[in-house]
Amino acid sequence: MTLTAPLTTPLAAIGRPVLAMLAYIGRIALFAVSVVSHLFRPPFYPREFLTALMQIGWFSLPVVGLTAVFTGGALALQIYSGGARFNAEAAVPSIVAIGMVRELGPVLGGLMVAARVASSIAAEIGTMKVTEQIDALVTLSTNPLKYLALPRVLAATLAVPVLVATGDAIGIAGGWLVGVHRLGFNPATYLQNTYDFLQSWDVVSGLWKGAAFGFIVALMGCYHGMNSGRGAQGVGAATKAAVVGASVLILATNYLLTEVFFTS
Amino acid sequence: MIELSAVHKSFGPNRVLRGVDLTVPKGESMVIIGGSGTGKSVLLKCILGLVTPDAGMISLDGQDVTRADRDAFLARFGMLFQGGALFDSLRVWENVAFRLLRGSLKRPKAEAREIAIEKLRRVGLKPETADLFPAELSGGMQKRVGLARAIAASPEIIFFDEPTTGLDPIMSGVINDLIREIVTEMGATAMTITHDMSSVRAIADKVAMLHDGLIRWTGPVAEMDAASDPYLQQFIHGRADGPIASVR
Ligand SMILES: Nc1ncnc2c1ncn2[C@@H]1O[C@H](COP(=O)(O)OP(=O)(O)O)[C@@H](O)[C@H]1O
Ligand SMILES: [Mg+2]
Percent helix, strand and coil across chain B, each to the nearest 5: 40, 25, 35
Amino acid (1-letter code) at residue B190: A
Average pLDDT on B228-237 reads 92
> What residue segments make up the domains of chain B, in order of their start?
1-69+195-248
- CA nearest ligand 1 atom 19, residue: B37
Q: How many CB atoms lie within 10 A of CB A30?
A: 11
- Paired strand residues for B218: B208
Domain residue ranges in chain A? 57-262
For residue B44, give the nearest of B141, B152, B163, B153 by alpha carbon: B163
How far is it, in rounded angstroms, from Cα B42 to Cα A87? 73
B11 CB less than 6 Å from ligand 1? yes
* Residue B213 CB–ligand 1 contact under 6 Å: no
Residue A260's pLDDT is 95
Residue B160, chain A, CB below 8 Å: the answer is no
| Closest residue in B to A142 (Cα–Cα) | B103
Contacts of B103 in chain A (CB under 8 A): 43, 141-142
Residue B248: is its pLDDT beyond 70? no
pLDDT > 80? residue B104: no
Counting ligand 1 atoms within 8 A of each CB, the residue from B11, B161, B195 with the most, and so the one to mutate, is B11
Q: Cβ atoms within 10 A of the Cβ of A249, count?
A: 22
CB within 8 Å: B103 and A136 = no
Q: How far apart are CA A253 and CA A259, in angstroms?
A: 10
Q: For B9-27, how does the pLDDT look when each residue is reduced to its tens digit (9 = 90+)? A: 999 999 999 999 999 999 9
Q: How far is CA B106 from CA A50, A51, B35, B103, in A?
A: 20, 21, 40, 6
Nearest ligand to the C-alpha atom of residue B39: 1
What is the C-alpha radius of gyration for chain B, rounded to an integer number of angstroms? 18
The CATH-assigned architecture of domain B1-69+195-248 is 3-Layer(aba) Sandwich (3.40)
Q: How many residues belong to chain A?
A: 264
Length of chain B: 248
Distance from the CA of B181 to the center of ligand 2, in angstroms?
A: 24
**Given B49, B79, B85, which is nearest A133 (Cβ)?**
B85
Taking alpha carbons only, the member of B157, B155, B210, B201 closest to residue B41 is B210
Give the CA dihedral A82, A84, A87, A89, nearest 10 degrees: 80
Distances (CA, A) of B175 to B125, B147, B156, B214, B221: 12, 9, 18, 28, 19
- B residues 52-81 near A, CB within 8 Å? 71, 74-75, 77-79, 81
- Alpha-carbon distance of B235 to A20, in angstroms, equals 46
> Rounded mean pLDDT of B54-79?
91
For residue B59, report the distance from its CA to the centre of ligand 1, in Å.
22
Closest CA to ligand 1's atom 20: B37
Q: Please indicate if any CB of chain B lies within 8 Å of the CB of A200.
A: no
Q: What is the pLDDT along chain A (264 residues), one digit of tens a residue?
A: 566 677 778 888 888 889 999 999 999 999 999 999 999 988 889 999 999 999 999 999 999 999 999 999 999 999 999 998 988 888 999 999 999 999 999 999 999 999 999 999 999 999 999 999 999 999 999 999 999 999 999 999 999 999 999 999 999 999 999 999 999 999 999 999 999 999 999 999 999 999 999 999 999 999 999 999 999 999 999 999 999 999 999 999 999 999 999 886
CB-CB neighbors (< 8 A) of B88 in chain A:
133
Ligand 1: distance of its center to the CA of A132 in Å? 12
For A61-81, b where at least 16 C-beta lie within 10 A, e where not — what string?
eebbbebbbebbbbbbbebbe
Contact at 8 Å (CB) between B149 and B160? no
Classify burial at A212, counting beta carbons within 10 Å of its beta carbon; exposed 0-12, middle 13-18, buried 19 or more: buried
B45 in contact with chain A, both atoms CB, cutoff 8 A: yes
Q: Which residues of B touch A138 (CB under 8 A)?
A: 48-50, 74
Judging contacts by C-beta atoms under 8 Å, the chain A residues touching residue B73 are none
Of A131, A139, A141, the CB nearest to B83: A131
Q: Count Cβ atoms below 10 Å from residue A229 Cβ, excluding itself.
A: 14
Give phi and psi for B3, each to the nearest 5: -125, 130
Taking the C-alpha atoms of residue B1 and residue B22, their distance in angstroms, rounded to an integer, is 11
B194 lines ligand 1 (CB under 6 A): no
Got the DSSP string for A59-95?
A: GGHHHHHHHHHHHHHHHHHHHHHHHGGGT-GGGHHHH
- Tell if the CB–CB gap between B78 and A139 is shorter than 8 Å: yes
Contact B85 A45 (CB under 8 A): no
Model-level pTM? 0.91
Report which ligand 1 atom has the smallest distance to the Cα of B161.
23
- Asked if B101 reaches chain A (Cβ–Cβ under 8 Å), the answer is no
Q: Give dist(CA A232, CA B113) in Å, integer.
A: 34
> What residues in B contact A133, CB-CB < 8 Å?
85-88
Sign of CA dihedral B91, B92, B98, B100: negative
H or E segment and range at residue B96: helix B92-96
In this predicted structure, what is the pLDDT of residue A2?
60
The predicted pLDDT at position A163 comes to 97
- The pLDDT score that the predictor gives to residue A3 is 64
Whether A132 sits inside 8 A of B81 (CB atoms) is yes
Facing residues of B160 across strands? B80, B192
> Residue A60: its pLDDT value, please?
95
Q: What are phi and psi of A225, to 5 degrees?
A: -60, -45
Model confidence at B247, in pLDDT bands (50, 70, 90)?
low
For residues B214-225, give the mean pLDDT.
Answer: 95
End-to-end Cα separation, chain B, in angstroms? 34
| Residue with CA nearest ligand 1 atom 8 | B42
| A230/B237 Cα distance (integer angstroms) | 33
B206 forms beta bridges with B30, B220
Contacts of B79 in chain A (CB under 8 A): 136, 139
- How do residues B111-154 score in pLDDT, each as one tens digit? 999 999 999 999 989 999 999 999 999 888 999 999 999 999 88
Which residue's CA is minimally distant from atom 7 of ligand 1?
B11
Choose between A111 and B165: higher pLDDT: A111
Inter-chain touch A135–B88, beta carbons under 8 Å: no
pLDDT (tens digit, 9 = 90+) per residue, B185-204?
Answer: 888 999 999 989 999 999 99
The reply to whether A132 touches chain B by the CB within 8 Å rule is: yes
